[in-house]
Amino acid sequence: MTYDIAIIGGGPAGLSAGIYGARAKLSTVIIEKMYPGGQAAITHLIENYPGFVDGIGGSELTESMKNQAERFGAKILNGEVEDIKKQASLFYVKLKSETVEGKSIILAMGAEPRKLDVKGEKEFTGQGVSYCATCDGAFYTDMPIMVIGGGDTAIEEAIYLTRFASSVTVVHRRDQLRATKILQDRAFKNEKIKFIWDSVVKEIKGKDMVEEVVLKNVKTGEESSVFVNGVFSAVGYVPNTASIKGLVKLNDRGYVITDDKMATDIPGIFAAGDIREKSLRQVVTAVSDGAIAAVEAEKYIENQEA
């Protein structure tokens, strides 16, 4: 069948687009390579999504979004996009096992954690190196761990990890955090959290599991070792745009460029959520993007068929 809207990515942006598309009685498919919910689903607690006074678990929130999209008739399809092509007025989304046809496309593949790109990182991923405190924190009960980064994610994860770890050392490449003040205040007050400033990771070492992290002070060049069992890296995100290079216009950091109607430079292709060039990447802005993209996709289809 040919779908009216083929949404790629089942995070908050894709699910919101699915809710709006399906509720407008458009045939809507959401293609997701893992499980719906995206990065938000692995966030322990989302405190700033309006409507939840005490916050809400990320998996609970995104599960509700998925159920809501399905209630209106959106189909969730498991698969990884290999290629997207336009022929005449239709788009062909190639997955491993099938090709999905759509009259319009919404790109909502989000972003994934940036790698540190240091010796030992790859070897010890899953054996002491993690990119998700909510997923792996409990493995480090009563053990010393390290968090790399100074943004909201790093500080939020450091605070969360103090529930399990004996100590949390935050390593940041500058001497000032990027994280919001409320998170900074909480972290500075937490006795389990220590900070190492102006430093980057040079190497992660161990036998079967992580045992040691070699740091380099960026001001003095001095190297030092910290002995920890876990390293949680939170140094930002990179957009998941590898499969769409050459399809739509990207900025120099790889994010999709859209206008305020979520339209890319290719008519019929829209983008929503963290994959877009934008100033604020949050669940609340992702769901807003998704809603706009679905409504604009509907207008695009109507104009094509008029």
- The footprint of ligand NAP (CB under 6 A) covers 48, 116, 148-154, 156, 173-174, 178, 200, 234-237, 281-282
> How near is the Cβ of 236 to ligand NAP at its closest, in Å?
3
Distances (CA, A) of 303 to 41, 298, 300: 36, 9, 5
Cβ closer to ligand NAP: 12 or 149?
149
Q: Per the residue annotation, which of 136, 152, 274, 289 is the catalytic one? A: 136
CB distance 116 to 201 below 8 Å: yes
CA distance 80 to 126: 22
> How near is the Cβ of 31 to ligand NAP at its closest, in Å?
24
Closest CA to 155 of 190, 123, 129, 128: 190
Integer-rounded Cα Rg, in Å, for the chain is: 21
Cβ closer to ligand NAP: 52 or 92?
52
> How near is the Cβ of 62 to ligand NAP at its closest, in Å?
15
Tell me if residue 175 is catalytic.
no
Q: Per the residue annotation, which of 83, 135, 175, 185 is the catalytic one? A: 135
> How near is the Cβ of 268 to ligand NAP at its closest, in Å?
29
Q: Per the residue annotation, which of 4, 83, 117, 132 is the catalytic one? A: 132
SS3 63: helix
Cβ closer to ligand NAP: 48 or 225?
48
> How near is the Cβ of 163 to ligand NAP at its closest, in Å?
17
Max CA pair span of the chain: 68
CA distance 18 to 7: 7
Cβ closer to ligand NAP: 95 or 196?
196
Tell me if residue 132 is catalytic.
yes
Token representation of residue 146: 């390290």
> How near is the Cβ of 182 to ligand NAP at its closest, in Å?
9
Tell me if residue 135 is catalytic.
yes
| Number of continuous H segments (helices) and E segments (strands) in the chain | 7, 17
Cβ closer to ligand NAP: 14 or 150?
150
CB distance 75 to 63 below 8 Å: no
CB distance 11 to 37 below 8 Å: yes
CA distance 31 to 11: 10
Cβ closer to ligand NAP: 150 or 268?
150
95: Cα within 13 Å, side-chain hemisphere: 16
SS3 2: strand
Active-site residue set: 132, 135-136
